[in-house]
Structure 1
């Protein structure tokens, strides 16, 4: 994310402390599960290469009719959607809490010590990161008040190439096994293959392991968050009853992509008076965000929610093309 330009009477000390990436205050990024693209002006294209089978019997003098193999090159699009933060406050409401730094003259925001300014803006940025965490997973783009952009799970549910697993059991071990067995060897063999599930579902899995005689951890400890040697990421904003297996990392080999950056203009972050004659101040923050998955074929989805057949809508924008059945993922 680009550093914000601030239109206000800030001291350099304040600027040094608030130039942070609010968009990374979410579990997908903090746990190293999603690749973040920043400084996107309008769109970012994720290139994809598919190649069909190539091997054939030897021909002494091969000609055009002996050609076998087809290159398919396409792309998926990250198109960040605009989001705004706008809130107002009266600095006088806080003077009793910061008596240590209370100025002797009229209390206005620019007279507050840098520590107080950083505290207020820091809380705004933390809250932004927390809210973005939910939208990066379950967000849906639309006309609703909180329909800002499509989250990764919304993308997965709408992708026709995603591999679907099924499991009638309520056992988390059985459900994880169902995802594992349905996943292609080339995908689950990847070093960064990861299971994504809710924190509540992981607690159930942990309890099941603990109850296994002579195998699980003792009741005072937590079991290792792994299945078949692969990492399990328990996410607070992930819905219960849904398990996804895919390739996750902070690098470009990740199957999960996101863009989240401050709007590229001089007033992306403003703190100033609402009007010159008043005491109210405002904080305004302009951002952009979106998510995408690179390969639907590299995702295995188990959705055990009762309402799963009725949930989720088609995301807006480009969802990419699908490959033929005999094509393999390259890259």
Structure 2
């Protein structure tokens, strides 16, 4: 790495859109990280982004950005459909890669990114903010400690009502639109993490999956549900929606009680504090565990990746997303979409 352990890790942002603004704030709140450069293809947007975040180096092509010799790692924040292309671009330049979720639009493309990073011997991480928040680590501890006995069922929802706009990436199949890719991936990731913890593993894959939902007029899933069976009496029900209000909650039921996360996906997403509450209810009563932090949510994933880079590791440590976790997550998303009759949208199908 060009940034030694006692210095800051130098980040570059590829794609200065809405989520990149939040990520830049997360970098600012991480003392061991610095935002050195950004690259975009819209000069005005790039200039505004640079002024807002005090970015020293601005590049009008992605190729020029990844070629900057002083950058340690690139955060790819372009629309979903371009994550594979832009991730490979960063890797080919010898840069570490953090790619916004979903890492790619099909499991085989995520596998391609992971293998490319391994061959290049560079860092790889898929950006799931909630997986880096302390409440997720504490939740895994509670499951492994048997706080509510044997886990029997998990309920996870993530959704809301969005105006249908065919021009928006959310409703454009070519850009990876649809609820599953945009927000359903959070319940998938967390449910598989919990199921794994319940079975003494890092993560678990459902042995069976069925789905229902609604495909909108633009061809994307606007409402989607899935029922998962992880074997050994452990099941899960997940849902996501672009066109229906849903409570964003996570409920884990066990043989001796229940755990509820009222805000599992986005505590402090846009601004701190990112305080979060875990509610545990058993025969002994109901209690709340609060986790307090003044930072906003993106700072946690920046910190996880920056620490890994400073320590010379090529990936994050669970409960943050590991490369194997990212592949499994994409595989289950493939299954969920296929069960709804949606087509595979990997790089081969778009060629």
TM-score band w.r.t. shorter chain: under 0.3
Higher helix share: 2
Report the structure number with the largest CA radius of gyration.
1
- Higher RCO, 1 vs 2 (CA within 8 Å, ≥6 residues apart): 1
Q: TM-score, normalised by structure 1?
A: 0.22
